[in-house]
């Protein structure tokens, strides 16, 4: 799997939503290798989208389409200032991965000294986390550049997520989560209170 992260400050949220809807209706059918998108706007006006493709080549092929270029030229007008693109060629999932049934998605961005170890820890702790935090459906972990990562966690609802995050961590997995926290470094949190979740039809 390959993930492209698109991020920027929104100037016209209604226009952006219309543009995203138009992409789904008009351009998605021709996007070969497209798997889905998780997107939304945070409280501070930051829009973030995680577009999933089967491979990097599929993403590049989509970007080269003339209709994709025309669509983006119009969509870019909905943003205030620069929009950043982060290509993440290494992607892993844990538990159920992403889910279109999620009511809340939290995205974390940062830099780590050991991305492979973070993946191992997520997989080792995943089932146990779900036992005491059943509102966690799963997540994706994607890396870019030398040490950058973007992690997305999918929850059934924000209310349950906020209630359960106060729970004490069981002793058997506390060391795993503490190690993951150390490796996560300084983290930027992007909360999607009303996530837009799209998966390609099979």
Q: Are 111 and 155 in contact (CB under 8 A)?
A: no
CA–CA distance, 84 with 119 (Å, rounded to integer):
25
Neighbours of 18 (CB within 10 A): 13
Beta bridge partners of 37: 51, 198
- SS3 string, 45-114, reads CEEEEEEEECCHHHHHHHHCCHHHHHHHHHHHHHECCCCEEEEECEEEEEECCCCCCCCEEEEEEEECCC
Q: Do 90-192 and 2-89 have the same topology in CATH? A: yes
What class is the 2-89 domain?
A: alpha beta
Domain boundaries, the chain: 2-89, 90-192
Best CA proximity match to 184, nearest among 129, 147, 130: 147
CA–CA distance, 187 with 197 (Å, rounded to integer):
23
- Please give the radius of gyration of the chain, using alpha carbons only, rounded to the nearest integer: 17
Best CA proximity match to 144, nearest among 92, 107, 89: 89
CATH number of the domain at 90-192, out of 3.40.50.2300, 3.30.479.30, 3.30.70.100, 3.40.50.1820? 3.30.70.100
- The whole-number pLDDT of residue 201 equals 67
Residue numbers of the chain with a pLDDT score lower than 70: 201-202
- The whole-number pLDDT of residue 108 equals 97
Return the half-sphere exposure (C-beta side, CA atoms, 13 A cut-off) of residue 168: 3
- The whole-number pLDDT of residue 146 equals 93
3-state secondary structure of 151: strand
């Amino acid at each position: 799997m390959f993930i492209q992260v698109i991020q920027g400050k929104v100037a016209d949220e209604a226009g952006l939503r219309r543009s995203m809807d138009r992409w789904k209706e008009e351009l998605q059918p021709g996007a070969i290798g497209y798997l889905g998108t998780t997107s939304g706007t945070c409280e501070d006006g930051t829009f973030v989208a995680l577009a999933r493709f089967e491979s990097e080549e599929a993403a590049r092929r989509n970007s080269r389409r003339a209709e994709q270029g025309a669509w983006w030229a119009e969509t870019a007008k909905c943003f205030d200032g620069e929009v950043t693109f982060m290509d993440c060629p290494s992607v892993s999932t844990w538990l159920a991965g992403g889910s279109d049934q999620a009511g809340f998605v939290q995205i974390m961005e940062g830099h780590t000294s050991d991305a492979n170890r973070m993946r191992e820890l997520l997989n080792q702790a995943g089932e146990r986390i779900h036992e005491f935090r059943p509102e966690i459906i799963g997540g994706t972990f994607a890396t870019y550049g030398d040490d950058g990562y973007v992690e997305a966690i999918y929850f059934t609802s924000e209310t349950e997520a906020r209630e359960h995050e106060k729970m004490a961590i069981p002793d058997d997995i506390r060391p795993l989560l503490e190690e993951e926290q150390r490796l996560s470094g300084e983290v930027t949190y992007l909360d999607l209170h009303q996530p837009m979740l799209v998966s390609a039809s099979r």
